[in-house]
Amino acid sequence: MTHSDTDVIIAGGGLAGATLALALARVAPALRVTVVEAFPLSADALPESYQPSYDARSTALAWGSRLVFEELGLWSRLSEHATPIRHIHVSDRGRFGATRLAASEYGQEALGYVVDNRWMGLCLMRELLDTGTQWHAPAEVTGMEPCQHGVSVAVRTGDDTRTITGQCLIVADGGRSGLREKLGFQPRHHGYEQNALIANVSTSDSHQFTAFERFTDTGPMALLPHGSPSRAGRQSALVWTLSDKELGEVLEMSDGDKCQRLQERFGWRLGRFTRIGECNHYPLKLTTVDEPVRPGVALVGNAAHALHPVAGQGFNLALRGLMTLAEQFRLAAEQGLSPGDFHILRRYHELHSPDWKQTVQFSDSLIRIFGKSPAPVAVARDAGLVGLDLLPGAKRLFARKAMGTGGRRAVINGPAASGKI
Ligand SMILES: Cc1cc2nc3c(=O)[nH]c(=O)nc-3n(C[C@H](O)[C@H](O)[C@H](O)COP(=O)(O)OP(=O)(O)OC[C@H]3O[C@@H](n4cnc5c(N)ncnc54)[C@H](O)[C@@H]3O)c2cc1C
C-alpha cells in the first residue's frame, strides 16, 4: 500500500506524544509509528528505578483519564504512585461562598488523582518498550513537506539532518511549539497577565485527600494532595497565580516569608505552611488553534491548546483528543485508508471539537469570573459559588468537568460511535 519509511510520525515524545504512541500501539497495532523527541532517553530511566522527589512536578488526572489509562493497560502501574483526590473544596478568599464535591456522592473512590509527571513518563516508556514504536532521541523535527506518500519530515540529530517519509505528521511538540508556526498554523493567544508559580508545600495538617481551589483578589490558587504516604498527607502541590509584580516579590522572599504570604492568601484549612520546595513559574496564557488539522498533519496536546493550569484540564482534554485520534486511525487502517487522509483528520477534529470548545470555555470563564475583583464580578463570584452549591444541576456540571467525564469517549474496540463516558 505504501513505500514510506513509517506510517505515523510523532514530533515530540512528551506526555501527549508518548500517550498517542501507546494508544496507537494498542488500538491500531498495524500502523508503524515513529516518535522523534528532542530530549535524550536514558536507558536506565525505568519505573523500577523511580525515586519520588519532594520537588517533582505533577498533573491532576481526572477520573475519566484513569478510565482511559485502564483501557491502555497503564493504570495498574500508574496507580502505584497516584494520590487520590477524594474531595474538592472551592472557595473565595474574603467571601462566604464555597462549594464542596465528594467522590462518594458519585459512587467513585476518587474524583481524580495527582501523579508526578516523571512517573507518568517512566510508565509510558516502560509500556512503549514492548511495542514496535521507533524512537529517534535526541533528535528534532525541523520541517515537513508534502510528498507522494504523504509527508517528508526533516529530522536533525546533532549536525546531521535526514528525511523520514510517513503518511502523516502529528505535531506534539508542546505549548511553545515551534513547528506549529513553521507549518503555517495560526494560533490565537490570550494573555491573562498572570504567572503560575508551581511548588510543593508541606503543611501541619493532613490534606485528607482534598484538592483546594481558592480564588483570591490577586488570582486563583490550587493545592492538590500530593506525595508518598510516608509524608502522612501533609504535602500538597501548589499552583499559585500571581501578577508580574507579586511574582517578583515572592521570588525574592525567604522560604519562611513565602510560607507566610501563602498563609495569608490561602488561610488555615491545611494548618500552618511549614515548607515550600523549589519554585518554578510560567507566564499564563490561553493558546488555541481553530483549525488544528491539514492534509497529512494534525496538532495535539499543548501544541493545539494550552490552558490555564488552575482548573487542571489541559492534559485531561488532550488525552480525550488523543483517544479520538487513535480511534479514527484504527477505522482508517480497517478501511485501507491512509491516516493522513484529510477526511480522517477532519473527522477527528469534528468529534473532539465540542469537548475542546467547552473545556477551553470552562477553564477560561473560571479564571475570568473568579480571577478578578471588580464589584460586579465579585457579585458574580459569590453568586457562582453559592449557585454551584445550591443548584444540583450546576454542581453536577462542575463535577463532570472536574472528573473529566463530560466529554466524548472514544470507542477503541468495535464500531466508532459518539458515546459519553
Ligand atoms: C504549571 C502547569 C500545571 C499543569 N497542571 C495540569 C494538571 O493538573 N492537569 C492537566 O490535565 N494538565 C495540566 N497542565 C497541562 C499539561 O501539563 C500539558 O497539557 C501537558 O504537559 C502537555 O504535554 P505535551 O506533550 O503536549 O507537551 P510537552 O510536555 O511540552 O512535551 C513536548 C515535547 O516535545 C519535545 N519537542 C519540542 N520540540 C520538538 C521538535 N521540534 N522535535 C521533536 N521533539 C520536540 C519536547 O522535548 C517535549 O518532550 C499543566 C500545565 C502547566 C504549565
Model confidence over 362-372: pLDDT tens digits? Answer: 888 777 766 55
Give yes or no for residue 54 having a pLDDT over 50: yes
Give yes or no for residue 35 having a pLDDT over 90: yes
Return d(Cα 47, Cα 30) in angstroms, integer: 27
Q: What is the pLDDT of residue 230?
A: 66
Nearest CA to 187 out of 50, 68, 285, 315 is that of 285
DSSP-H helix ranges across 194-266:
244-252, 255-266
Residue 82 contacts residue 107 (beta carbons within 8 Å): no
Q: What is the pLDDT of residue 376?
A: 45
Model confidence band, residue 138 (pLDDT cutoffs 50, 70, 90): very high
Question: Angle at Cα 342 formed by Cα 336 and Cα 345, nearest 5°?
Answer: 90
Nearest CA to 293 out of 240, 339, 228, 238 is that of 339
Question: Angle at Cα 75 formed by Cα 73 and Cα 79, nearest 5°?
Answer: 155
Is the Cβ atom of 36 under 6 angstroms away from ligand 1?
yes
Domains in the chain, please, with CATH? 8-189+285-403 (3.50.50.60)
Return d(Cα 70, Cα 122) in angstroms, integer: 16
pLDDT per position as a tens digit, 58-86: 999 999 999 999 999 999 999 999 999 99
Dihedral sign from CA coordinates of 353, 368, 102, 262: positive
Residue nearest to atom 42 of ligand 1 (CA): 140
Give yes or no for residue 107 having a pLDDT over 50: yes
Residue 304 contacts residue 288 (beta carbons within 8 Å): yes
Model confidence band, residue 231 (pLDDT cutoffs 50, 70, 90): low
Of 173, 183, 359, the residue with max ligand 1 atoms within 8 A of its CB, to mutate for a pocket test, comes to: 173
Element (H, E) at 53: none
- Give mean pLDDT, residues 151-168: 96
Question: Helix %, strand %, coil % for the chain, to 5?
Answer: 40, 30, 30
| Residue position matching grid coordinates 510523532 | 10
| Residue position matching grid coordinates 466524548 | 408
Is the Cβ atom of 39 under 6 angstroms away from ligand 1?
yes
Is the Cβ atom of 227 under 6 angstroms away from ligand 1?
no
